[in-house]
Structure 1
């Protein structure tokens, strides 16, 4: 039977990350059957404005497609930092994310958020798990998200992989916006998102976790892509998916290329020379 945990307040992410070093995970092949929920969440307008400024979204009366992820993220970390959760939190890499915008969410609506983990499975480079999030308003689900995290470990070359769609449509797209991401990009995004994972903060905190420099948050890169495409995407009925291919080392310069086809877009975020593919984003409606 699922254990339901209802929180009165938002989990302290700084404290979760500070204590995460004490957890090494375990060899369990099962996930704890637990669901975390928080009811009646109200969006702080100042927080939304700060997030929109960092990610380049326009400020309006509705939430950007990626903003509900911020509300669910502390609950995700509460699930992953539990004593019985099999994967260690520190060093976890966000490899894929899916979002479904059922309808626009007004900034003045009271939101109920629920999060649980499912589908622990092998990955070529370790093990991965899905953190499922739902946002509801008065009993109606208005937004869904699935965040896939990889914990590196014993390799499984035979493991099935989730590959991005073909990017053949982009063959003739040679131009796109260039973004210069400074060394402090990870800290700027952490300040508005609460995601203080050390791999994003500074080279000195990223190196012990296997990264030569700090890397940009995947959800920051994803948000920048959706913000850039904003006028071309619908307010509701949107299914969006991102595959994080190679980390964006900080600082760096990246380019976004996008192709449009009916009720679909396909985008690639790559380095300025087009040699490294950082992320592939597909939107359908």
Structure 2
């Protein structure tokens, strides 16, 4: 099944990936696999169906617009079994572009939907007016819930919650919780050749000689080289390679080997 890799989030914005397909009048399915499992169907450059987990239609599309994590592929042979999006695509993309503009400002404070915030203990004691939409977010910001968790609990979009958090950070009510950066993001430097030897060895056990081809293609897609591959991209690289193993049992075998060989290094940062 032709499943072409087109990008990794958040290194690229989903909006830009979809926009190129829309402008190119492409037909097929955009597949996002990360924390969320989402699909977008296009016909001749028009968005005709959207699915985000168990939600479909334009409600799903609105949630998809906020996804900032995962591997994105495009399958040009698939067509939708149903059409759940009726709004003209040019209007959808215009709305999406507007949201992207908001994200530019929001990202200065809320860098990721995984970010966590907590109430400022000493906020000066000044009186502040807290709006109704802010109370729910304020109550849930306990330093252990992520922005996406709070959005799910409140039934609001990640963008909406992020904007509210930005407002309250500006008011001195919230601050970024300490130590909330993901272990992967904290990693500095590059991996050594041993990493690629291990990956290729384990991949050959489940796929045979084609392992080298998959390794080289994945490196090319990441636009990185074996002699200067950043540690912060290790988990994303492993996920991308793993996704290309069709048989579930073999994929599980590879994932387990990679976990015991490399993920503890990240978890202990």
Normalised TM-score (structure 1)? 0.24
Of structures 1 and 2, the larger Rg is shown by: 2
> Which has the larger strand fraction?
1
RCO greater where, 1 or 2, for CA within 8 Å and sep 6 or more? 1
